Amino acid sequence: MKNYLSLIKFSHTIFAMPFALLGFFLAIKSGGGELSLRLLALVLLCMVFARSAAMAFNRYIDREFDAKNPRTAVREIPAGIISPKSALAFTIVNALLFIVTTYFINSACFQLSWVALLVVLGYSYTKRFTPFCHFVLGLGLALAPLGGFLAVTGKFDLVPILYAVAVFLWVSGFDIIYALQDEYFDQSHQLNSMPAYLGKEKALQLSKVLHLVCASAIAAATFFAAQYFAAIGWISALAVLAFWGLLFYQHRLVKPHDLSRVNLAFFTTNGIASIVCCGLLVLDLYI
């Protein structure tokens, strides 16, 4: 179990999970229905199954490149801890569990489950033909607030769509930062990424632009949420300010000539941003 949790980097669930919960509680507050622990559990399971399938498939597809890259050679498949066949079987089981779980939520989630899987599994191939692969990952995680809202209401709405846009820009930006570590490896193996395509400096500039637009998107989403739910106020403003501050901080950590703090910027800073921002927004909804 420990090896499989490491294979899928289970701790990275903290990026999208809080936004799925935000979408869920926004839907409850909008009159979508009573709080159901059963439905909440199904939403959480969907998140776990979809992400587990996506990460395991990514590791399976990239196993040959991972074996050649000194940074990734210690991962479970190239290190021989988990076999490729086992990783693929794990992917299939989680994908099927995701589809089955959506069936017990509502028809809209069930009918759209294949779209979600197409995006999150398809991401693994994109680095082979486009440097815009980071945006496909961003799109995959942007489904979180939409999925949480859809699970309760069976329909889309403006506020979760705006939060999805913010997540799309946020994830795309920080994935570019993470990819800085493999600029030269990607170039030498004909793999596409923004750092390999643009170079470190320009890739970082693009990441900054994405995060600037993200800051505007999350402010706009929270503004419209405040109009929709007249009760929310200063705590939501604090959530937005905290998210802005952590976006700014991660760009202070990483420089083109100094990547020693990439993991701090990528995992710690963004994990805190997601939990704090969504936690405060949900808190404001209910107090």
pLDDT above 80 for 81: yes
The domain segmentation of the chain, as residue ranges, is: 2-286
Fold of the CATH domain 2-286 = Tetracycline Repressor; domain 2 (1.10.357)
Q: How confident is the model at residue 29 (pLDDT cuts 50, 70, 90)?
A: confident
Mean pLDDT of the chain: 93
Whole-model pTM? 0.94
Q: Which residues contact 262 (CB under 8 A, 6 or more apart)?
A: 177, 178, 180, 181, 253, 254
Residue type, 142: A
Q: How confident is the model at residue 286 (pLDDT cuts 50, 70, 90)?
A: confident
pLDDT in tens, 93-117: 999 999 999 999 999 999 999 999 9
pLDDT above 60 for 231: no
Pairwise CA distance, residues 93 & 160, whole Å: 29
Pairwise CA distance, residues 164 & 250, whole Å: 21
pLDDT above 70 for 167: yes
Pairwise CA distance, residues 91 & 40, whole Å: 23
Asked whether the CA dihedral 141, 75, 90, 14 is positive or negative, the reply is negative
> Residue 255: beta bridge partners?
258
Pairwise CA distance, residues 171 & 134, whole Å: 8
Closest CA to 177 of 137, 141, 215, 147: 137
Mean pLDDT throughout 42-63?
Answer: 95
Closest CA to 248 of 215, 199, 287: 215
Pairwise CA distance, residues 180 & 256, whole Å: 8
pLDDT in tens, 171-209: 999 999 999 999 999 999 999 999 999 999 999 999 999
The answer to whether the CB of 210 falls within 8 A of the CB of 172 is yes
